Amino acid sequence: MDFFEAQARAKRRTTRLVMLFAVAVLGTISAAYLIAVLLTQQVPAYADGTFNPDGLVWWNPPVFGVVALGTLAIVGIASLGKWLSFRAGGSTVAESVGARRIDPGRATPEERRLLNVVEEMSIASGVPMPAVYVLDEEPGINAFAAGLTTSDAVVAVTRGTLEKLNRDELQGVVAHEFSHILNGDMRLNVKLTAIVFGILVLGLMGRAVIWSLRGVRVRSGNSKNSGGIVVGIFVLGLALLIVGYIGYFFGRLIQAAVSRQREFLADASAIQFTRNPGGIGGALKKIGGYALGSRLQSHKTTALGHFFFAQGFKSSFGGLWATHPPLAERIRAIEPTWDGRTHEPPTTVDVARESFQTAGFAPGAVPPRLATERIAFQPATIIGDVGQLTDTYFLQAQTLLATMPDPLRAAARHPAQAPALVCGLLCAADPVLRARQLDLVRQHAGSEVAVTLEKLLPALTGLDPAARLPLLLISIPALRQLKPTDLEALLGALDELVHADNRVSTFEFVLQKLLVHHLKLAQRPDQRTDYVSFHAVADEIAVVLSVLAREGGRDPQAIGTAFATGAAQLKLIEQSLQLQPAETCGFAALDPALERLASASLPIKKRLLVAAAHVIGADGTINVAEAELYRAIAATIDCPLPPIAAPRAT
């Protein structure tokens, strides 16, 4: 399944989910109305000692209106409140369950290994590095991903996952979570949590009302009236409790059913990503053989059970509330010939016995550098790479990580050093211009950033050009931790660096665009779909294709041919697309065009990327600058793309 199909399926699931929960809410309203009818009507209960229901009016529009509006208001406000609390991003979700963010400067060997695995996944998939958290108080083997977009995602693992799994198994678990990130499951998880909480809040209100009566004493002087009031309050609380938990029961059924369907796909995707069934299979077998399994201890995680890698709590109602398929079914889906044996994990995996290269502690042998000249490029295959992870990309990610000097990788992980690193990526090779750029950094970002930058410059000088964007991607979590004033100062310094030589290079535009986009998306994750017609964004598409056609520095005839090749992929608007003049289709025009296209529908985005790939590949080749620009275009419209240039031996 490709990225666009997965995203479209996530949207369809969301629509069905809303419909199912609408049914659950209607059921809740019906139950509340029934109780309200019984409580509010004066029924001639007995006549001649027998019950007479004829006096009961079952349909009472005023009562139904009050009950329906009240229920919808309570459920809606509670769901909206929960949604807004999670809207700040995955970090809010992780911290709400007591997870601790890993400090790279103080990371243990197990935590450094985890950071390395997540970095590989990030580079291989083309998404910004998620923030990484650990649930220190959870000895079971489990993990989850959370967030609303790829720009604000986090990956959290339990202490048991760090201590019990080897690197292959850890990679399988993290790949499973990246599948949820890339397939749009995180956002659906947050919606599930918010809606279920909205239904549950009625029951919580009822329980609070009943609990508030525990210390009430009825005075003898007014016992009849006081007793009636207390009984009335108790009945009201009991009614809310019953109604709320009826709705909650069915809400949890829907939540569990939706969650179970996605786990098999995420397992299969993890195998596709890593080409190693033994990794995720081994993790599941260790869960089965471990006394604590994947069990979660903290009640804070109860509402987020469907976020996790494996079943976190004992399933109620005969498995109807199970958020994950049985372990045996998941293992057999991975290994059809599985003999039923599980593994008892060691007390702690000996990280020191893993090779430095695989554990990510040292670069080891120098890998082949990446191609910087023009390489063969096939547009037909590029769309299949959007939002995908494969073993080829893993090897490429490991190569890229190994080419990065240790000081640069350390700086990318540290909030105090990441600003200097990003500024350094824009520093020129010319000593005179570089000295001027250092002064600009000192003026706009501060002397501390400038001092750190000077220390990083020797390592930046020999950096492989193809490793620049990956470094930027893994620095995003650190940059998100900056104070608003520091971030504003950094963005101002970057703008000065970009314009220091009175021209904007392709890489300068790409870096600035990617950084601003990911940071902005993390702060405001809601993305609307405003344009569903190709004609509504035809002018913007023409700008994108024109910029790409001129990027290769071709002669006028080749530029026209490249543009026409791309336009031919958009039959609906081909005749209205015109090659824009060079003076009006530079980066200044590309920036607002991409912002508008970011609000286009998925079919438009897909065809745009197809057309753009054909423009670049009109001559059958691509270089690093074109690849970086193409990746920036894809990322800006929220279609993550792995590195395009493939490794080569020298």
As annotated, the active-site residues are: 177
Q: What angle do CA 529, 531, 535 make, to 5 degrees?
A: 165
Which 8-state DSSP code applies to residue 600? B
Q: Write a three-state SS string for 213-231.
A: CCCCCCCHHHHHHHHHHHH
Q: Distance between CA 118 and CA 116 in Å, rounded?
A: 5
Alpha-carbon distances, residue 300 vs 93, 134, 229, 296, 576 (angstroms): 11, 15, 35, 9, 56
Largest CA distance in the chain: 107
Which 8-state DSSP code applies to residue 138? -
Which helix (H) or strand (E) segment holds residue 155: the answer is: strand 154-158
50: tokens are: 């027998």
Beta bridge partners of residue 101, listed in sequence order: 133
Which helix (H) or strand (E) segment holds residue 499: the answer is: none
Beta bridge partners of residue 100, listed in sequence order: 134
* CB-based contacts of 211-214 (< 8 A; 24+ apart in sequence): 212/237, 213/237
Q: Distance between CA 8 and CA 31 in Å, rounded?
A: 35
Which 8-state DSSP code applies to residue 529? -
* CA proximity to 648, closest of 373, 328, 426: 373
Distance of CA 424 to the CA centre of its chain: 28
Q: Distance between CA 534 and CA 5 in Å, rounded?
A: 19
Q: Distance between CA 14 and CA 185 in Å, rounded?
A: 10
Q: Distance between CA 114 and CA 129 in Å, rounded?
A: 12
Count of other CB atoms within 10 angstroms of residue 346: 12
Torsion of CA 584, 589, 590, 593, to 10 degrees: -120
DSSP 355-423: -HHHHTSS--SPPPPBP-S-EE--HHHHGGGTT---HHHHHHHHHHHHHS-HHHHHHHH-TTTHHHHHH
Three-state DSSP at 528 gives coil
Find tokens 């893994």 and name the residue: 474
- Main-chain dihedrals φ then ψ at residue 640, nearest 5 degrees: -65, 135
Name, in order, each residue with C-beta under 8 angstroms of 127's C-beta and a sequence gap of 6 or more: 150, 153, 178, 181, 182, 473, 640
294: tokens are: 């994947």
Q: List b or e across 393-414, with b for residues whose CB sees 16 or more CB atoms inside 10 angstroms.
A: bbebbbbbbbbbbeebbbbbbb
Q: How many residues does the chain have?
A: 650
Beta bridge partners of residue 46, listed in sequence order: 51
DSSP 161-227: HHHH--HHHHHHHHHHHHHHHHTTHHHHHHHHHHHHHHHHHHHHHHHHHHHHTTT----GGGHHHHH
